[in-house]
Structure 1
Amino acid sequence: MNQRRVKNKWTVKYEEMSFPFIQKGWVLPSGKYEEFDPFIIMAEDWFKRGAFSDHPHRGFQTITYVVDGRLEHIDNSGNREILEPGDVQYMNAGSGARHAEEAVSDDIAHTLQLWLNLPREKKFSKPYYQNVYSEATPTIEIDRGFVKIFAGQFGDIIGPLQSMVPITIAEVNLEEGASYQHQLPVTHHAFVYVLSGELELGDEHTVLKKHDVATLTMTDQASLSLDNCSIVARSRRVKLLMYSGEPIKETIVPYGPFVMNSEEEIKDAYHDYRTGKFGPAAK
């Protein structure tokens, strides 16, 4: 198999926020959609209750990984769920979703939220939510570690997350000295975020530490279906998230809580929200 290597890497920078927000960092910063396609942005947030009360979305998907604390999801269809560390929530905003994401009680919620694009023909698809709980996520045991499969297929294991577009998401946990070859679809853009520890990534053994992000190269070997990405743990308790997705290759216009293909569609989204077409507030 072809071996992927690190294309670009950076360390997330954080800024203090005003209450009920506490701290924010951009794992995937805005303005680099072509490089990240189909991913748009990824934010790492620490917040108290009241930070992300009722708000709308249209034209994309969100994938929220709970790092610490408890996160309460509320939507205007009457759904109310609490997610804990290691849980993931998927939302297809599609034609229009209205929800709230709140810290529970006096908790400080610590989350990673990824915005995932929808192709033009699916931007008005029916909204839906899916919770993927840590204990119900398929796990692959490897030498001195384990891999949790949230989305995509890895051998005979298929992750439960049902995205509208082809993606893979895995949480990799390794002990010091462990070596692991992670497989990725050859046509996917991919990136890695390090949650803890220090590791070597890719065939050039690029060193990454906690809070580091890396995008990976792609291959032009069309005869292959999968690439390998080498991971070697240099410290104990290495934990990282690996994401990959099939590029959509469309021009997008992200503005506020909406991601559409034109400015006119953004104006329509605001009009529809203001005139009640997104439904009542999430309470």
Structure 2
Amino acid sequence: MTENESRASADGPISGEMVQHGTGVNSNRAFPTDSYPNNLDPFVLFEQFYIDPDKGFPMHPHRGFEIVSYMIEGGMEHEDSLGVTNTAYENDAMRITTGSGIRHSEFPADGQACTGLQLWVNLPQAEKDADPDYVDATADELPTAERGGATVTTVIGDGSPISLYTPMEYLDVSVADAWTWSVPEEWSGFLYGVAGDGTVEGQSFAAGDVVPVTDAQSLTLRSDESLRVVAVSGRPHGEPIRQRGPYVL
């Protein structure tokens, strides 16, 4: 382990923080939280949401960033002001470019609760007024491969039909033995525990935990049974992230 990697993992994984949205939807937020009160340029926030059958997000506005939603269990119905309607199920992904402004709603499908992951990615200042856009991908459209001791699905990155204005990679990883995550030089990112437990650089890591990475190039995950994580990294914009509720200015 290099000196940089040691600094990145010295404090170990931190627990996410439960938050409740105004609509009654509960989420485990990875960042920003009281424990990690920062954005991770280019990333604004990340959380795992849990939507009960009678809850959801009615039509509401966004602008100035991109949203990546990735479903873990159940289905979520999306509708937006572009006229798009889509229901995403387990391991399906959706990307919304809010740009100059979009309105959308999110509700659980089929009268059942749903769980998923949502990432907000900042748009660079030069693209804040980009035309709003939407794209989705089903589970079978996302490339999956065995890499050492893990099964890796590329949600965003090489081979995925989903791309953003920000160069980035988003991996869904099931670790059955050991797997090393490499982050490009000068990129930042994070690991988030979706299910199971194991270790990151020898430190305990479980569902709901997060490891922010701002100065490391590689981290090794191990699990004696199974550990599911998402590993997300991207190239920082080097610009302030100014979130004002549903807008990122």
TM range (shorter): 0.7 to 0.9
1:61-96 deviations in Å (ceiling 9; x for gaps) = 111111211101111222111101111111110011
* Aligned equivalents of 1:77, 1:217: Cα separation in 2: 36
Q: Structure 2 length as normaliser, TM-score?
A: 0.88
* Aligned equivalents of 1:15, 1:162: Cα separation in 2: 29
- Could you say which residue in structure 1 is the equivalent of 2:43? 39
Are the counterparts in 1 of residues 25 and 55 from structure 2 also a CA contact under 8 Å?
Answer: no
Q: Give the gaps of 5 or more residues in structure 2.
A: none
1:183 aligns with 2:186: no
**Count of aligned residue pairs for this structure pair:** 241
1:16 CA drift (Å): 6.4
Q: 1:53 to 1:16 in 2, by over 3 A?
A: closer
Give the counterpart letter for 2:155 in structure 1.
F
- Could you say which residue in structure 2 is the equivalent of 1:263? none
Are the counterparts in 2 of residues 21 and 46 from structure 1 also a CA contact under 8 Å?
Answer: no
Partner secondary structure for residue 140 of structure 2: helix
1:64 aligns with 2:69: yes
Are the counterparts in 2 of residues 93 and 128 from structure 1 also a CA contact under 8 Å?
Answer: yes
1:197 aligns with 2:201: no
Are the counterparts in 2 of residues 49 and 104 from structure 1 also a CA contact under 8 Å?
Answer: no
- Could you say which residue in structure 2 is the equivalent of 1:165? 166
Are the counterparts in 1 of residues 25 and 56 from structure 2 also a CA contact under 8 Å?
Answer: no
Q: After the TM superposition, which residues 224-235 of structure 1 pair with which residues of structure 2 at under 5 Å, given as runs? A: 227-234=217-224
Identical-pair percentage: 24
- Could you say which residue in structure 1 is the equivalent of 2:207? 210
1:145 CA drift (Å): 3.0
Q: 1:15 to 1:151 in 2, by over 3 A?
A: closer
Q: 1:246 to 1:104 in 2, by over 3 A?
A: same
Are the counterparts in 2 of residues 174 and 237 from structure 1 also a CA contact under 8 Å?
Answer: yes
1:50 CA drift (Å): 4.9
* Aligned equivalents of 2:206, 2:86: Cα separation in 1: 33
Q: After the TM superposition, which residues 1-283 of structure 1 pair with which residues of structure 2 at under 5 Å, given as runs? A: 4=5, 5-6=8-9, 8=11, 9-14=13-18, 21-29=24-32, 31-33=37-39, 36-47=40-51, 48-153=53-158, 158-175=159-176, 178-202=177-201, 205-219=202-216, 227-234=217-224, 236-260=225-249
Q: Structure 1 length as normaliser, TM-score?
A: 0.78
Q: How well do the aligned residues superpose, as a CA RMSD in angstroms?
A: 2.2
1:249 CA drift (Å): 1.6
Partner secondary structure for residue 243 of structure 2: strand
* Aligned equivalents of 2:161, 2:101: Cα separation in 1: 23
1:133-165 deviations in Å (ceiling 9; x for gaps) = 212111121344310111224xxxx33321111
Give the counterpart letter for 1:149 in structure 2.
T
Q: 1:240 to 1:74 in 2, by over 3 A?
A: same
* Aligned equivalents of 1:123, 1:7: Cα separation in 2: 36
Higher Rg of the two aligned structures: 1
Are the counterparts in 2 of residues 188 and 245 from structure 1 also a CA contact under 8 Å?
Answer: yes
* Aligned equivalents of 1:254, 1:17: Cα separation in 2: 16
